[in-house]
Structure 1
């Protein structure tokens, strides 16, 4: 599934995972998000745009401030996809165990 690939690719970076973790508690401005990072605002913004392109975050402008927030449905879709894969693996392992024990 191509959209899941984009999601997992976007989450495959330590900085982007840290940004997602920060946004779990609610929307945050770029100032707040860069305050906890050892990176420039420009670098953090690039990471946020990767997350946005994957559909994981959105932003809105409030005056001169940009506020970022998680798109929870995209995370739910990714979790559902992982659940499907997990069930497939569990089934394959059960079949293998049955074959080995037979």
Structure 2
């Protein structure tokens, strides 16, 4: 039973992130002087490279041609021995994501 719960927890842990790739939206005129990628959620420009967005459980990788967004994905919980624990947005990504906790039997 322990190995079943371990495997379920491992699969959920691996699958808890989702990544999207897209072009960064155009910068507003007031931010045009800043180098990096414009992020609508914070109405600011982040520098090229990897950034955690404060207050948002996500990570953004800013490149000149593309922007990569990683955020928590949600997985349905069908195991009655498991429950979804709330995430903590004060922590950096992916530690801020909700986690699945399964109680062991026996």
Higher strand share: 2
Higher helix share: 1
TM-score normalized by structure 2?
0.28
TM-score normalized by structure 1?
0.28
